[in-house]
A and B are shown apart, each in its own frame.
Chain A
Amino acid sequence: MEITQLSHYQQAILLLAALIALTSFLMLGQSRLLRLVFIFAVQGILLSITTALAADVLDSPHLYISALLTLSLKGIFIPIMLQRLVINMGLHRDMETLRNPARVMMAGTGLMVFSYYVCLPIVKLSPLITLNTIAISMAVVLLGMLLMITRRQAVAHVVGFMSIENGLFFAAVVSTYGMPMVVELGIAFDVLVAAVLFGVFFFHIRSSIDSLDVDQLNRLSEVEK
């Protein structure tokens, strides 16, 4: 199918999907925490634009509420909270050395291809656009995990975790036009509580190991030291 044959809505969704995937890759290669948080905010805003677009075109008003929730939580509240924590804890000057950035990027592209491969069975029952969006949302989930694996900063872990949730929301909005309202509210509540708890935890971790480098959280292990 040619891309020009798709409706404007579908083309816009594909563009947004590509941009969201791009932000995931940008996060993977970003070594400064403040910029990482900024890119995360951009991803959240893209996600809320997608939701608002879907609400407008598909004429389902409950998606507007969802878009508003996403914007305020993922685009504004959580990034600002993380930014303030990073600055208060004096982490904004540190540069995290990325180990093997090239290999991480290659692994990221590999995950992208893998997601497309896994989602192939879905293409049989729905149009091209669904394959793209589900594959990309799965890739965003996997890239978020990769981000968590490759970083040592607790803040980067939280960003990875939240970006996984972004990927899931994207899947829900684009492939199924949003979950039922009660579920969406529940998820938003969980994300909010999780964000607050993460903030609390940063202070606990810092007071116990005097840094936010999670590699130093290594007291518990199976092997006797």
Chain B
Amino acid sequence: MIAAYLLLMVPVIGMVVLSWVNDSHLAGRINTRFNILALAASLWLAVDVLLKGPILSNSQMLYIDSFNVYLIVLTAFVGLTTSIFSGPYMAHEQELGKVGKKRLRLYYTMYQGFMLAMYLVLTTNNMGVMWVAMEGATLATVLLVSLYRTPESVEAAWKYFILCGVGIAQALFGTVLLYFAAEQVHGIQDNALLWTVLHEHASALNPGVMSIAFVFLLVGYGTKIGLVPLHNWLPDAHSEGPTPMSAILSGLLLNDALYAVVRCKMLVDGSLGNHEAGNLMMGFGMLSFLVAVLFLHRQTDIKRLFSYSSIEHMGLMTFAFGIGSPWATFAALFHMTTHSLTKSAIFVTVGYASQLAKTQRIEKIRGLINTQPAIGWGLLIGTVAIAGFPPFGVFASEFLVLIATMHDYPWLTPLLLLGIGIAFAGLFRKIQPMVFGDIPKGQLPIRANMLPVMIHIGIVLLLGLSIPAFLGNWFNQATHLISGKFPL
């Protein structure tokens, strides 16, 4: 349990310390150190859960089981690798004169603030606190989206703020309804918002209220997942904010919002006893998936391109969680991991590529492999991985989703295949001219640290070849928790 408190304390101390550090190089290094500490705490927590099973804190405010503990480790890991990238990257942005010292201080403070919000969403047992933390994540990142203060970035941040603010307000209404439903049940008194209590009494909760509540919760947290038609903020925020932000937004925030929805779904399923919540998730997931793959083709900005790819993959995961069978749930959990690792690696590479070409416009980025092979190949391999080519992990998880769909909803499989095909064509049409071809005049190599990218892609490759036993076991347990059965 100490590990969980430690995990929450590290970013708090980090925020306090970093709000005093003026030197940007030093701040970058301190930021990385704090993320190392958080990763260590999360690993300690993971070992604890692995050995002792689910942990409930004494005050019942924190609850860690196999579902959230693996997301905690993932969050800490991606947070660390992105912070390794972000130090030199932001220092370079400062040299270019895009940001001042004061704003960099804000950036590093809010980086830790965002990590704190993410850890709180994942560890809390209280649905109300989960909402507060989710809103906190918006508040922490909104000023980072407008960090460069260009008219575009201010617009993107405003859109992000308003859309996510209104969206997440719907989730609060859902939470109030959840509380209302719980108060009707005898035997629940003070702790009616605790997830463990709600889950225990799920079958006694009023189905009518719960189904209304779920609609609001799905719309609310769904805005943060980037589900169509509430996705408009996502490409803007990703393309206009600093690149490390895009990496952690795509790799962490979207996952954690989906986590919140799945937690709610577990309650609603217990209360309704039918597949209504799953159907809603499948519908929204499929819609997001199909709309996003079509929009991929129209993009002219490299970061917008990959943010649509994020919407596509989040749609696929929502769809898979919606199916709800053990296989589909396993696949969705696996896909959460592979997507988050691959996508954050891609955003890191894209950050270097746009610093190299001094623009984010796809038509202006040319000849990456010839200029700097590491960046060019990194982008190409990352795209190959995210498009779902074997032997990478994304292939394995998408394949599992397809099998699960084939088993339960065979008539939806062609749509999925078609979507994956279109996405693949869209990505390659844009990426191929960027990485190959001649060097444009005056394009010089830059200092780039590709280590985080290599680690991420390496892990994804490993996961594609074989899932280590302990990780498979972990996924199995989480699947059992969510769908009630073991996949194997």
Contact = CB atoms under 8 A, between A and B. Distances in A.
B135 interface: yes
A201 B298 contact: no
Nearest to A123: B208
Main secondary structure on chain A at its contact with chain B?
helix
B165 A183 contact: no
B146 A204 contact: yes
Interface string B124-141: 001011011101100100
B152 interface: yes
A172 B139 contact: no
B126 A141 contact: no
B128 A190 contact: no
A219 B132 contact: no
Contact of B209 (A121, A164, A190): A121
A69 interface: no
B208 A141 contact: no
Contact of B128 (A118, A183, A218): A183
A121 B169 contact: no
Interface string A128-158: 0000001001100100010010000010010
Interface stretch (A18-26, A48-56, A173-181): A173-181
A190 B161 CA distance: 13
Contacts of B377: none
B290 to A, nearest CB: 16
A179 B166 contact: no
A138 B213 CA distance: 12
B149 A122 contact: no
Contact of A161 (B126, B166, B184, B300): B166
Contacts of B184: 125-126
A204 B152 CA distance: 11
B172 A168 contact: yes
Nearest to B190: A180
A164 B161 CA distance: 14
B431 to A, nearest CB: 19
A177 to B, nearest CB: 8
B208 A208 contact: no
**Interface size, A (range):** 35 or more
Nearest to A210: B151
Contacts of A220: 152, 155-156, 159, 236, 239-240
A121 to B, nearest CB: 3
Contact of B158 (A125, A171, A201): A201
Given A175-B176, A217-B158, A182 B126 contact: yes
Given A217-B158, A217-B159, A124 B208 contact: yes
Nearest to A170: B176
A200 B143 contact: yes
A182 B169 CA distance: 18
Contacts of B159: 217, 220
Contacts of B183: 176
Given A124-B208, A171-B173, A189 B155 contact: no
29 contacts: A122-B208, A122-B209, A122-B212, A125-B184, A125-B208, A134-B177, A161-B162, A168-B173, A172-B179, A176-B179, A176-B180, A182-B126, A183-B128, A186-B133, A187-B135, A190-B135, A193-B136, A197-B143, A201-B154, A204-B146, A208-B150, A208-B155, A217-B155, A219-B155, A220-B152, A220-B159, A220-B236, A220-B239, A224-B300
Interface of B: 61, 126, 128-129, 131-133, 135-136, 139, 142-143, 146, 149-152, 154-159, 161-162, 165-166, 169-170, 172-173, 176-177, 179-180, 183-184, 190, 193, 206, 208-209, 211-212, 236, 239-240, 295, 298, 300
